[in-house]
Chains A and B, each alone.
Chain A
Amino acid sequence: MKKLDRLTVGGLACLAVLVVFALGSLVGAGGDPDAIVGPRLQPPGPGWWLGTDNLGRSVLPRVMEGVGTTLLLSSVAVLVTAAVSATFGIVAGYRGGYLNELVMRLVEVLYSFPAIVLAILVAAVLGPGQTAALASIVLVTIPLMTRLVRAAAVAVSQRDYVTSAVISGARLPRVLGRHVLPNVAGTIAVQGTYALSVGIAVEGGLSFLGFGVQPPQASLGVLIQQGGTYMIAAPWLILGPGVVLVAAILAINVVGDGLRDRLEPRETRSLT
């Protein structure tokens, strides 16, 4: 096992802090996110470490709840994306032919929509809310992941161990499950982390526009949207969730890079 580099460790630590943060809100650490604790729009101070919002609620527990909502929503969406992309990418990559063409053209259609336009379209169809946010993240992240999994599956499918398994009489589920999937799993994991950061950004954007998570439930996007109104008078409203959002995306990307360096080119060890 090679040691992870410092940057990746830093990213992992940052993510861990955010997760602890989010879990903390579940057990009520930081206070009740919906309780009014003091005067409106107070700057950070004792009793409200990140200040208070326009209703006099403490911002800290709201950010904690928001991180939880955003992370949970994005993670669930990325798991869905990974399952769908892995299935279609591997089958299309292994089988080729018409199925491959069909999957790839569908993916290209999805790919051609700008992320936020696609998300708004989904929200318009499903109605604003968590489901719309979830579905949007899935649809935005599926194209890239499917394409990359397919590309990896095409390469793996041509390797001799796959041919050997077919010659030995292995059936399709075994060939795909034992030989192709484990050898494209690295790609799925790496793309999964990138998809997670995209998911967080999409949730933020969609909730900011009012199509995603609905208040009073807090998510990072909702908090930034609400804080935007008082940006001049009370910048701490937007600063807290904003910094957390940036930190989350940055940390996940750094971890993704570390994971990629670790998993992807390692199979080919120099020359024979």
Chain B
Amino acid sequence: MILELDGVTVTFTAGPPLRRIHLNAMKHVSLAVAEGETLGLVGESGSGKTTTSRVALGLQRPTSGTVRFDGRPFPKRRRELAGRMQAVLQHPHWSLNPRMRVGQSVAEPLTVLGRPAGDAVTEMLEHVGLEASFAGRYPHELSGGQRQRVSIARALVTRPAFIVFDEAVSALDVSVQVQILNLIKDLQAEYGFSALFISHDLGAVRYVADRIAVMRSGEVVETADTETFYTAPAHEYSKQLLEAL
């Protein structure tokens, strides 16, 4: 198992001491992602999908429960995992620093690790279907789909074992979505990374995921193989979701 979440609970608190509000963004969530596997995580807004991704990436510490990466407990300093896990995030608009050239953005994960970028940047850009000349451009010169390709190149440049795609295609229009989903599948076949693919779009998840987990108000209500899930969902909420599709 590359990533294991075991009974993870995350509680957010807000408000003044006596009238403090406690909100459970995740309640006893247990998930596992195997090597080379893609786990699709679906659920409505506010169901805890993004909190789950933040926990998986080590950006959010669980209130209780354990997280293991590659069989070992999560290190205290998440820098120790730098380069081994990456993410492709939601907004193509804000995924790239507008003040940096595309090439610098793609090279960044290597730069912070002190590794030389060499030809890795142009090679990576070509792998995601962009010409090498894109390295010299600024993000505002790119379309949404192109920017998301650059994000994927940036995520892959350190050859990570695990990548989180948090609503990575949701902001793109349908034809571009299909291209990006195909790209993700092709690259996964080539590089063999594991992935957590988060989306509210059941159609997109079906396309790339091997297994599906369904979240609702902080809890995982069902986990099943993609085939099983789409043909015979077990949980009442899963049925509702699929009917709405």
Residues in A lying within 8 Å of B, measured CB to CB:
159-161, 163-171, 174, 178-179, 182-183, 267-269, 272
Contact = CB atoms under 8 A, between A and B. Distances in A.
A169 B93 CA distance: 22
A168 B82 contact: yes
Given A178-B97, A272-B92, A167 B86 contact: yes
Contacts of A159: 91, 94
Nearest to A179: B97
Interface of B: 57, 59, 78-79, 81-83, 85-87, 89-100, 105, 108-109, 112-113, 140, 144, 151, 154, 158, 171
Given A167-B59, A167-B87, A272-B144, A160 B109 contact: no
Contacts of A163: 59, 87, 89
Nearest to B143: A272
Nearest to B78: A169
B98 A267 contact: yes
26 contacts: A159-B91, A161-B94, A161-B96, A164-B87, A164-B89, A164-B108, A164-B151, A165-B112, A167-B59, A167-B86, A168-B82, A168-B86, A168-B109, A168-B113, A168-B154, A169-B79, A169-B83, A178-B100, A182-B99, A183-B97, A183-B98, A183-B99, A267-B98, A267-B140, A272-B92, A272-B144
Contacts of B79: 169, 171
A165 B109 CA distance: 7
- Interface class of chain A by DSSP: helix
Given A163-B59, A167-B85, A169-B83, 20 more contacts: A160-B89, A161-B96, A161-B105, A163-B87, A164-B87, A164-B108, A164-B151, A164-B154, A165-B112, A166-B59, A168-B83, A168-B108, A169-B81, A178-B100, A182-B97, A183-B97, A272-B92, A272-B93, A272-B144, A272-B171
Given A169-B83, A272-B144, A164 B93 contact: no
A182 B94 CA distance: 14
A163 B89 CA distance: 9
B130 to A, nearest CB: 18
Contacts of B158: 168
B154 A167 contact: no
B90 A169 contact: no
A39 to B, nearest CB: 61
A161 B94 CA distance: 6
Contacts of A165: 108, 112
Contacts of B105: 161
Given A164-B87, A272-B93, A169 B98 contact: no
A30 to B, nearest CB: 44
A168 B59 CA distance: 11
B125 to A, nearest CB: 17
Contacts of A182: 97, 99-100
A188 to B, nearest CB: 13
Nearest to B99: A182
A162 to B, nearest CB: 8
